[in-house]
Every structure is written in C-alpha cells, then in structure tokens.
C-alpha cells in the first residue's frame, strides 16, 4: 500500500437512521435531522463540532440547512456526488479524503428522502423537454418510445446477459428470495416476517420482461446518516471504529446513465470493475478476505455481474454462485443481510452502508459470525462507487 492511500485513514464512528416506510408523514429535512442527530449521539460528538457534509444527488435536503439546524459554526467541507444510487458510497470516499487531508475533522454523510410518498422514480414521467439541453437530447433517444423506467433500462442489459451466459429469471429470483429471507428476520425491514419463495417470484407479474415485480426493489421513505472522522481520533472514542479500508468511484468507457448500450459488450459492468480493482489495490485485500457483502440491488439482474466484477465468481458464472446458495443465509458470501433494497428499504444504497457498519461492529440482526471486512457497492448502470469497511487489525 502506498503512503498516499486512502485506506485506513478514516473511520465511521456514528450511525443513525429513521424507520423505513411508504409514507414517513414528515418532511425530508426532519428525516435528515433525526438520522443525523442519532448518528452524532451514537458517536458521542457534539453537533456543533460538525465541520463537513457529503451527500448525493436527488437528495433535496441541502447541507447548509442541516448545518444551520445542528448549530454547526465552521463548515469547511461540503460535496454532493452525482448519479443518485451510483453515488451511494461516494460521500464516504469524499468524507474520508476530507478527514485524511485535514480539510475537515467531523463529516456527516446522509441520505433523506420521501422517495415513495413524494417522487416515485419509476413513474415514467420525468418532464424532459425538447430544448437542446444535453439531458433532453440524451433522453430524447428513449422517451419518445416510452422506454422510460429504470426497470426497462436494466432489463435491456439483463436480457443480453441471459442470452450470453444462460442465466435465467430463476437465477434473478434466487437473489430476491435470499434478500427477502434476511428481511424476514430484520424488524427494521419493510418486509419483516414476509419471506417469498422462488415460485412466488416466478408468478409475480411482469413489470418489464425479463423483470418480474419481485426483481424490483421497493420505493421507500426514510433517512440514514453517518459520522466520519480520522482513525487517530476514532481510537480515542468509546465506540468501536469501523475503518474505511477502501473507497472508490468509477466511470468507464462509453459510460452513460442507465443506457450504456453502445459498448462492444453489455453483459458486464466495467465501471464496477474499475471500482473493484481500486478497492483491492487500496486495501491489499482479496475476495476471500470478505466475510459478507452488500451488493446494490435496485434490480436483481445487476447483482450477478457485480459478483463477477469483484471476482467472487468467474465472468458469466454468477448464476452457479447463486444456484449454490453462496449468496444466501449460511452461504459462502451472504449478501444483503439486512434484506437489501428488495427487502429492507430503498434508501438509495445508504441503508446498505449502514448494514456494513453493523456487520463490522457485530451488531447486525443477521450477524455473519466474525466479520473482519465487508464490501459495499453502489448503484449499477450509472457511474458508481463502493467501499470496503472493516475492523482495525
């Protein structure tokens, strides 16, 4: 590891979250504040001490309002990472860089949205206009045909992946069944005590062939926040620090937002491959050093190529991985032990980072034995990010 590595420089020392629901019944600012104050309380840090913030796009709660309500006096660092769910791990990277370089000392990363009750990302109506702004021109290749939902955009990759490698809808279903199994024993999950069978997955209605309803994550209201500080400072704190061992972003050849259909091959996720290579290099770890992972699951099909990009399975062989149940409870690499976004809630990936923190602390409801290192990935199909969190040696 080079001296300049981000690995081992920053730690997550506070975690907070609201309940997850379909209708929070309160404002997003309030959700953000509930989660943030809980995270600061968890860390034992005075809210006035916060001097940095990072979140990611689509979040409508500005850091200056959180800062104002916290009574933060000297805020020296703020960033918002683009590309929605793909950015989920980005704020932790930004926060880690800020504390590693002394730019800031106490950084809050957060996500607070009434996604279900206020927006609904999958409704097909986005208000793109016909002016020559790039976004209008770009989505102009898709919207006039009614090709306008995330499920459809993912489905286009999924169909080619199935065709190329022989993966089936049932393989996608195995991802959903395992997630719902973990959700069933997680009281914080929306689908607590509601497991599903593979037959139920197969019988669920089409959203967009090849995706069934049960291949799609939920839409949720809720907030998650974390506090990040330097490892040196974390060592003096009461709470067991969760070390950021690797943190990376990636955007690759021919990258687009959900529609990178023009690459030579569309069965992989090269941007995630780029992130994976950085994480292994930064941390000095390898796939066998990871005890559990949070693999972004807005839609089940993209879980498979993620396992391949990180080297948990050979290219095209993730279907065998899930057929063997390696990803499920008791498996070789249990993934999404909180139930994922399919089972717990869709907080755009931030709830997955929270689960990784709990697994490292040893406090997860579906704790996977002795956990030293956890991989967390962010949204797929877009420029993305990921983390390796773990215990200090």
Partner 1 sequence: MAEPSWMDSARALVGKEYGRVYAWDKVNAPMIRQWCEIMGVDASPYLVEGVVHAPEAMLQVWCMEGFTLNNYPPGSTTENPYEVLKLMEAQGLASVVAVNSELQFSRAVREGERLYYTTRLDTISPEKTTALGTGYFVTLVMRYFSEIASGDQEVGQLLFRVFKFKPTQAAAPSAPASAPAKPKRPAPGISDDTRFFWEGARAGQLRIQRCTACGTLRHPPGPVCPQCHSFEWDAVTASGRGTVYSFVVMHYPEVPPFEHPNPIALIELEEGTRLITQLVGVAPGDARIGQKVQVEFHTYDGDLVLPQFRPVPDAN
Least distance (Å) from partner 1 to the CB of residue 159? Answer: 5
The phi and psi torsions of 309 (rounded to 5 degrees) equal: -60, -30
End-to-end CA distance of the chain: 15
Minimum CB separation of residue 300 from partner 1 in Å reads 15
- Nearer Cβ to partner 1, position 213 or 365? 213
Supply the minimum distance, in Å, between the C-beta of residue 162 and partner 1: 9
Q: Toward partner 1, which CB reaches closer, 256 or 367?
A: 256
What's the token pair of residue 271? 């941007």
Rounded to 10 deg, the angle between the 63-70 and 28-43 helix axes is 60
Nearest distance from C-beta of residue 257 to partner 1, angstroms: 12
- β-pairing, 221-230 vs 107-114, is antiparallel
Which CB sits closer to partner 1, 145 or 238? 145
Q: CB of 69 within 8 A of CB of 27?
A: no
Contacts of 95 (CB under 8 A, 6+ apart): 10, 52, 54, 104, 107, 109, 228
The least CB distance from residue 137 to partner 1, in Å, is: 4
Active site residue 119: no
DSSP code string of 341-370? HHHT--STTHHHHHHHHHHHHT--TT--SS
Catalytic residue among 110, 139, 165, 346: 346
Q: Is residue 145 annotated as a catalytic residue, yes or no?
A: no
Interface ranges with partner 1 (CB under 8 A):
122-125, 128-149, 152, 155-157, 159-160, 163, 205-211, 259, 261-262, 266
Q: Cβ closer to partner 1: 135 or 232?
A: 135
The residues near 245 (Cβ < 8 Å, ≥ 6 apart) are 7, 8, 282, 283, 285, 373, 388, 389, 390
Instruction: Pick between residue 100 and residue 158 the one whose CB is nearest to partner 1.
Output: 158
Among the listed residues 217, 177, 221, the one whose alpha carbon sits nearest the alpha carbon of residue 342: 217
Q: Shortest gap between Cβ of 29 and partner 1 (angstroms)?
A: 24
Nearest C-alpha neighbor of 231 from the set 350, 361, 96, 103: 96
Backbone angles phi, psi at 242, to 5 degrees: -105, 115
The smaller minimum CB distance to partner 1, of residues 33 and 208, is found at 208
CB 225 within 8 A of CB 109: yes
What tokens does 10 get? 């920053």
Enumerate the active-site residues. Answer: 296, 346
């Amino acid at each position: 590891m080079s001296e300049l590595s981000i690995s081992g420089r920053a730690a997550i020392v506070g975690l907070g979250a609201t309940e997850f629901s379909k209708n929070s019944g309160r404002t997003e600012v309030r959700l953000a504040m509930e989660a943030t104050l809980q995270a600061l309380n968890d860390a034992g840090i005075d809210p006035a001490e916060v001097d940095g913030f990072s979140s990611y796009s689509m979040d409508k709660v500005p850091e200056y309002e959180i800062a104002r309500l916290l009574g933060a006096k000297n805020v020296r660092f703020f960033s918002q990472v683009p590309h929605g769910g793909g950015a989920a791990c980005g704020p932790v990277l930004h926060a880690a860089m800020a504390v590693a370089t002394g730019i800031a000392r106490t950084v809050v990363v957060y996500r607070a949205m009434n996604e279900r009750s206020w927006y609904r990302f999958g409704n097909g109506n986005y208000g793109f206009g016909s002016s020559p702004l790039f976004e209008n021109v770009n989505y102009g290749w898709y919207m006039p045909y009614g090709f306008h939902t995330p499920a459809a955009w993912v489905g286009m990759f999924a169909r080619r992946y199935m065709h190329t490698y022989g993966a089936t809808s049932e393989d996608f279903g195995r991802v959903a069944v395992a997630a719902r199994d973990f959700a069933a024993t997680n009281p914080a999950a929306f689908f607590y005590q509601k497991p599903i069978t593979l037959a139920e997955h197969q019988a669920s209605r089409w959203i967009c062939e090849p995706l069934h309803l049960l291949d799609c994550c939920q839409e949720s209201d809720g907030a998650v926040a974390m506090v990040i500080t330097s490892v040196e400072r974390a060592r003096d704190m009461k709470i067991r620090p969760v070390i950021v061992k690797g943190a990376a972003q990636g955007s690759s050849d021919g990258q687009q937002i959900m529609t990178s259909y023009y690459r030579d091959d569309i069965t992989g996720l090269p941007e995630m491959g780029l992130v994976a290579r950085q994480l292994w290099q930064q941390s000095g770890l390898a796939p066998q050093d990871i005890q559990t992972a949070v693999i972004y699951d807005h839609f089940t099909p993209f879980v498979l190529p993620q396992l391949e990009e990180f080297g948990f399975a050979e290219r095209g062989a993730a279907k065998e991985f899930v057929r063997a149940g390696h990803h499920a409870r008791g498996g070789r690499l249990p993934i999404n032990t909180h139930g994922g976004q399919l089972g717990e809630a869709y907080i755009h990936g931030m709830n997955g980072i929270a689960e990784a923190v709990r697994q490292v602390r040893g406090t997860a409801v579906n704790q996977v034995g002795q956990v030293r290192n956890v991989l967390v990935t962010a949204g797929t199909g877009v420029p993305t990010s990921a983390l390796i969190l773990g215990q200090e040696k």
